[in-house]
Structure 1
Amino acid sequence: MIQPLAYIHPQARIADNVTIEPFVTIHKDVEIGEGTWVGSNATIMDGARIGKNCRIFPGAVVSAPPQDLKYRGEQSTVTIGDNTTIRECVTLNRGTALDKNTTTIGSNCLLMAYVHVAHDCVIGDNVIIANSVQLAGHINIYDYAFIGGTSAVHQFVEIGAHSMISGGSLVRKDVPPYTKAGREPLSYIGINSVGLRRRGYSAATINEIQEIYRIIFLKKYNVTKAMDIIEAEFAPTVERDEIINFVSNSQRGIMKGFGNT
């Protein structure tokens, strides 16, 4: 159902069963998958690739040019997976040729009102980003992460899978998987045990993750020493290896343990 008061460029590629409300603007180089709903006054600009059964609320701007002085008008995209909800006044900037050439939001995500996602960010599946979170460019957020409202995330930061960041946080360092982060400066405050239980992780696995992070954050070892101890004392598992790889490959450095400034 497409309302006559909407503007849709004749070359935009709109699938069947898409609902487009009045006063929507859809530019030329746009693809929208089946079953997606686009609310009034949303703007879908060139380079948008929107999946199936998404919900885009009024005032959202999808695939605007990046706010990057190095951008020279090159063709680039924003890709949104299936079943993702983009709430009111969210702004999603497309990628740049100097990095990924695309900004990616996964499937089954919820981006609440006034979220900003800058150029070349990659957001995984089942991610929740609460109201007014501001993401700078080149950020990676892995599956099932949660970012609390009004948080600001520095460019090039990595936020691990199943992690949880408290509202109002200033995220300047990488946040490893399965952790909870809070306080100022941003610090380790435990593992996301409630989220892990909800997603079917066993008590034994949760306990192992907790023991690994005690070594990283609470024992006051440097990162290299902590990684050596973990590799020596814990048998390889998916979770252990994910933590080791994330921490060892961190470019910005990981957040601190509380009290370890």
Structure 2
Amino acid sequence: MSLIHATAVVDPAAELDSTVSIGAFTVVGAHVKVGAGTTIGPHCVIEGHTTIGRDNRIFQFNSIGAISQDKKYAGEPCGLEIGDRNTIREFCTFNIGTAQDAGVTRVGNDNWIMAYVHIAHDCQLGNQITMANNATLGGHVKVGDWVTIGGLTGILQRMNIGAHSMIGFASHVGQDVPPYMVVDGHPLSVRGVNLVGLRRRDFSSVRIAAIREMHKLLYRQGKTLADARVDIVRLAETTPEAAADVALMDGFLSQASNGIAR
């Protein structure tokens, strides 16, 4: 039995694993590649130079791989790459990249993407990310692993969202969000450390204590960012178990180009 509905329109040049399922009235373009076990619901459009990995669940009414909403886009052969085991709910829009950046929009593995999410051109998403309904990423946004983005949140172009952070409902993100922090509001404000998320991921009490100390150094002691970074780096010497967490934070701060959320 064919797994492609009789009303689906699939270009003969598309590369689909034999186990891919495609629903009614879905359109799949010539440059699309889809891996084993992926299901694509009805009334979707999958187009452009789009590669989709294994075991993804793409629900109905999605637009995946359309050209960027960027007036500078001039038809360059840019692409979209989606990894494995992602869930993409209804009415999402994922755009391809542009020649002004890497040329590829990337979505990693095991992400939970809810309805009406927009991922604009050249965004780079990691793994295990949750994006609630109507969350919107402007172009060139980078999102680290295990980030949670609340519904109705807008993230401006070129923002960097650090791993294990959480952005609350209906927030306006116009600065970089450091790893491990909880932020929300308009204007955006840091509320504390993402303790619930860290405990769910089995962070030890020692690591969590070091992360809380990094929060204090950044936000509670009146230090400049440069001075706070010096003290944060020293935590790796006094708390070796948290060395990787310290390195993640310092690496993020060293590349923060939009100012950090305060």
Q: Displacement, 1:230?
A: 2.2
With 24-33 and 177-186 compared, the bigger mean Cα shift is at 177-186
User: Counterparts in 2 of 1:144-163, with a 5 A limit?
Assistant: 144-163=146-165
> Are 1:255 and 2:257 matched, yes or no?
no
Counterpart in 2 of 1:98? 100
Partner of 1:125: 127
Structure 1 segment 226-245 matched on structure 2, within 5 A: 226-232=228-234, 234-235=236-237, 237-245=243-251
What one-letter code is carried by the residue in structure 1 that aligns with 2:190? Y
Q: CA deviation at 1:220?
A: 1.4
Q: SS at 1:49's partner residue?
A: strand
Aligned to 1:259: none
* Distance change (3 Å), C-alpha of 1:37 and 1:232: closer
CA separation of 1:4/1:225 partners in 2, compared to 1, >3 Å: closer, same or farther? same
* Cα distance in 2, alignment partners of residues 53 and 233 from structure 1: 41
Structure 1 length as normaliser, TM-score? 0.96
User: Shift of the alpha carbon at 1:115?
Assistant: 0.4
Map 1:188-199 onto structure 2 (within 5 A). Answer: 188-199=190-201
Q: Which residue of 2 aligns with 1:137?
A: 139
Structure 2 SS opposite 1:72: coil
| Pair 1:170-2:172 in alignment | yes
Q: CA deviation at 1:234?
A: 4.5
Name the stretch that deviates more: 222-231 or 244-253. 222-231
Aligned length: 256
* Inter-partner Cα distance in structure 2 for 1:48 and 1:101: 12
Distance in 1 separating the partners of 2:97 and 2:236: 40
Q: Aligned partner of 2:49: which letter?
A: G
Identity among equivalent pairs (%): 38
Tell me the amino acid that sits aligned with residue 24 of structure 2.
Answer: P
Which residue does 1:9 correspond to in 2? 11
Q: Look up the equivalent residue of 2:187 and give its one-letter code.
A: P
Q: Render the CA deviation track for 1:87-136: whole Å, top value 9, x for unaligned.
A: 10100000011101100001100111000000000000111111001110
Structure 2 contact 235–246 (Cα < 8 Å) conserved: no
What residue number does 2:31 align with?
29
Contact 2:25 2:44 in 1 (8 A): yes
| Distance in 1 between residues matched to 2:11 and 2:235, nearest whole Å | 60
Pairing 1:215–2:217 present: yes
Alpha-carbon distance in 1 for matches of 2:117, 2:256: 25
Aligned mates of 2:255, 2:24 — CA distance in 1: 47
**Structure 2 contact 210–235 (Cα < 8 Å) conserved:** no
TM-score by length of 2: 0.96
Of 96, 106, 110, the match for 2:112 = 110
Root-mean-square deviation (CA), in Å? Answer: 1.0
